[in-house]
Amino acid sequence: MATVIETIQAPQVQHTECFIGGKWLPAASGKTFATINPATEETIAEVAEGDQADIDLAVDAARKAFDQGPWGRMDARDRGRLMYRLADLIEEEIDELAALESFDNGKPVSVARAADLPLVIDCLRYYAGFADKIHGSTIPVRGNYFTYTRKEPVGVAGQIIPWNFPMLMTAWKWGPALAAGCTIVMKPAEQTPLTCLRMAQLAQDAGIPDGVINVVPGYGPTAGGALVKHPGVDKIAFTGEDRTAKIIMRNAADSLKRLTFELGGKSPNVILADADLDAAAAGAHFGLFFNQGQCCCAGSRVFVDERVHDEFVDKLKDLATNRKLGNPLCQDTEQGPQIDQAQFDKILSYIDKGNAEGARCVVGGKRFGDKGYFIEQTIFDGVTDDMAIAQDEIFGPVMSVLKYKDWDELIDRANQTFYGLAAAVWTSNVGKAHDFARRVRAGTIWVNCYDVFDAAAPFGGFKMSGQGRELGEEGLRAYSETKTVTINLS
Ligand code: NAI
Ligand code: MG
């Protein structure tokens, strides 16, 4: 029997309201919605259902904090200090936050504790250090003028995030925005509002002034839509589905907002015959099944050199068979439930399509258990490029294995997708690795590794996988305007 981690059986839900101007407020409409534990399908808490009225209040608070308030005027180094303090408070509460994330999202608590939380803390510290290192340049122009540039915050940032990494997406959005000097109105995903709300309280406890961070939980078309259309919002940063991004782009047109998008993918993970096949199999397994397959950069198309295909599929099958599904609160659980009924239904429908289109299901293929949104770790072999499971983002624990023979043809096939978020190659041939890195059109290339993230390394998509980059120094661009100042010296 696996041990359930004692202390986290009933995490405290402390915040369920909108956080606006430093105050906890019910939705103006009085409405609430249930947030569900995906492992049990039971309601954890009722949460304020924000919409237009609450977004209006939150934008007013963020505008005030930016235009008149302390944030815009505070010395950059002091802003950074408050961000470090927020990271420290999160670190002090790391176990409780990991538990809350696991409850609301379904991810194994041990994974939240070992992966999500350390990345959250690291991201905030990385950007805290940037706060006083954002500077312009002096520019040699013709004539007797002195010209320099200033990097100024873009203003009020509207941030809309998904449910797959609720706290980490919050950190990825808050970090660069705060460092750049922006104020924030965030709408967390309706599936997972709880940890973002807790982080808002910790930000206040850290001393970040009221109105700098505002959080309005609610649904996409209502709360999210109001944020996107609001004329007082200067910029929208969105992570989620490409279909939603298109709606956001249209809705943001009237106010010509700055937009950054981090969207989906159908990332190729390519196994050459000369690779360390055990390491490659472990990497392919992790690259797809991590986070229940709910990763924008999931390596969902595994291309294998036909000479090693059978041996490699055996290895993949062994790894998947031994993967531990179950209670996210058990210490050794590797895979929890999918986020909700809609994702659960979508994934099972893709498994049906895979079977109907003639792919061979090697392992899994069904629901797991009879309670919670669990789906077995599933591998399809014999997948061809035209099948739906090779083209669409499934966002679940479903791996497609495709064979390849010729290198140039492989590169073409790897690129035959509307997406371009990530790609990986496993090989001992350094020339092939660089050739792959140059020719595959994707924002991130991993060589002999997968899902290696660092706050300093830019992340984002080519093609329909996104616009702009998050993380690293590049991530600050989305939150900065460049001002050019010219002084007549004669
Ligand atoms: P979604 O894109 O609808 O939701 C993401 C966020 O956008 C949520 O906070 C949602 O409330 C908000 N939103 C939805 N409609 C909006 C609108 N009209 N205006 C403003 N905000 C809006 O994604 P969803 O429905 O949760 O998942 C659907 C599919 O999207 C998944 O199956 C997966 O393929 C993909 N997805 C990709 C993610 C990624 O990290 N790239 C994350 C989540 C989903
Ligand atoms: Mg949606």
Tell me the average pLDDT across 143-171.
Answer: 98
Any idea which residues carry the catalytic annotation?
262, 296
**Residue 265 CA: which ligand 1 atom is closest?**
41
How far is the C-alpha of 212 from the C-alpha of 223, rounded, in Å? 19
Tell me the average pLDDT across 410-422.
Answer: 98
Q: Would you state the pLDDT for residue 11?
A: 77
Q: Please give the structure tokens belonging to residue 98.
A: 């990991």
How far is the C-alpha of 58 from the C-alpha of 350, rounded, in Å? 39
Task: Count CB atoms within 10 A of the CB of residue 454.
Answer: 13
Least confident residue range of 10-24, 30-44, 251-265: 10-24
pLDDT digits (tens, 9 = 90+) for 45-86: 999 999 999 999 999 999 999 999 889 789 999 999 999 999
Distance 189 CA to ligand 2 centre (A): 10
Residue ranges around ligand 1 (CB below 6 Å): 160-162, 164, 187, 189-190, 219-221, 224-225, 228, 239-241, 244, 247-248, 263-264, 296, 343, 346, 393, 395
pLDDT digits (tens, 9 = 90+) for 357-396: 999 999 999 999 999 999 999 999 999 999 999 999 999 9
Q: Closest residue (by CA) to atom 43 of ligand 1? A: 240
Q: Would you state the pLDDT for residue 73?
A: 85
Q: Closest residue (by CA) to atom 27 of ligand 1? A: 241
Closest ligand to the CA of 342:
1
The pLDDT > 90 percentage for the chain reads 97
Q: Determine whether 40 is exposed, middle or buried from the number of CB atoms within 10 Å of its CB (0-12, 13-18, 19+).
A: middle
Q: What is the mean pLDDT of the chain?
A: 97
Contact 200, 227 (CB under 8 A): no
Q: Would you state the pLDDT for residue 4?
A: 56
The yes-or-no verdict on residue 33 having pLDDT over 50 is yes
Q: What is the Cα Rg of the chain in Å?
A: 23
User: Whose CA is closest to 450, among 411, 470, 473, 422?
Assistant: 422
Distance 18 CA to ligand 2 centre (A): 21
Q: Helix 194-206 and helix 94-105: axis angle, to 10°? A: 150
Closest ligand to the CA of 172:
1
Q: Would you state the pLDDT for residue 1?
A: 41
How far is the C-alpha of 253 from the C-alpha of 332, rounded, in Å? 48
Tell me the average pLDDT across 21-44.
Answer: 97
Distance 208 CA to ligand 1 centre (A): 29
Straight-line distance from the first to the last Cα atom of the chain, in angstroms, rounded to the nearest whole number: 83
Strands 42-48 and 156-160, bridge-based pairing:
unpaired
Closest ligand to the CA of 264:
1
Tell me the average pLDDT across 88-96.
Answer: 97
